[in-house]
Homo-oligomer: A and B are copies of this chain.
Amino acid sequence: MDIASLIGLILAIGLIIASIALGNAPFSAFIDIPSFLVVVGGAVAAALICFPLGSMLKSPLIALKVILNKGEDRLSLIKQIVELAETARRDGLLALESKVAEIANPLVKTGIQMAVDGSTPEVVEEVLRTEVEAIQTRHREGKSIMDQLGRFAPAYGMIGTLMGLIMMLQDMSDPSGIGAGMAVALITTLYGAIVANVFFSPFAEKLGLISRNEMVSLEIAIRGVMAIQSGESPRAIDQKLRTFLPPKQRNAE
């Protein structure tokens, strides 16, 4: 679980609640359900226009990934690739057939299966790279949904505030109501700023980072499969793939 994202989320929300508590206005002054609906509902509506229904329905899960993602275990991926390379060296490429079912990484699995089935290295690489591109496209869409939500939330916040101001300005017969009317008008702008800067924008950034990390693991997988198929020595493969690890981890067993 990604403890930093969870801490950040709790901290950001806590700070906002604390500063309302410290002020002299009641909490109720900051709660306005219709304003919330205009901002969040509006941002979701605009995103629904932009993206397919299937992607939008999956987006809460994608947002959860920000909190729940475990990070890549690249070392064990490299170890498994080296193990496969040893078998291939000792008993030939076809000996990997019995091991395919045990391979955890789907990209390595596909690649080894194709190599065993006799596909040429060029075809194996093309298929794996097309697959990685498809994964990247899915990641980009997930990040892009958060980006758009983070862009439309303040926009709908502004729309709500403009509507509130126009209502207030229409009826200025009671001067004592002007302040309250203006406060309500500003709440949608506040909601838009909070929703964008506590949730959507940081989530989009994090999804980008997670994706870039996963891309490195996928590159390790592809290079591993190619090296096994071209019969490189397990030791050379190990050394080459470990350059993708941070220096400290490089000599780990």
* Residues of A near any B CB (own CB < 8 A): 2-5, 7-9, 11-12, 15-16, 18-20, 22-25, 29-30, 34, 37-38, 41-42, 44-53, 56, 66, 71, 123, 126-127, 130-131, 134, 137, 141, 148, 152, 155-156, 158-160, 162-167, 169-172, 176, 179-180, 182-183, 186-187, 189-190, 193-194, 196-198, 201-203, 205-206, 209, 212, 236, 239-240, 243-244, 246
Contacts and interface: CB of A to CB of B under 8 A. Distances in A.
A11 B45 contact: yes
Which of A23, A30, A127, A209: most chain B Cβ within 10 A? A23
A190 B159 contact: yes
A186 B165 contact: yes
A203 B38 CA distance: 20
Nearest 6 A/B pairs, CB to CB: A8-B48, A49-B202, A12-B45, A4-B53, A8-B49, A11-B45
Contact of A162 (B44, B156, B186): B186
Which of A22, A25, A56, A123: most chain B Cβ within 10 A? A25
B243 A131 contact: yes
Given A4-B56, A162-B189, A169-B182, 4 more contacts: A11-B41, A50-B209, A134-B244, A166-B187
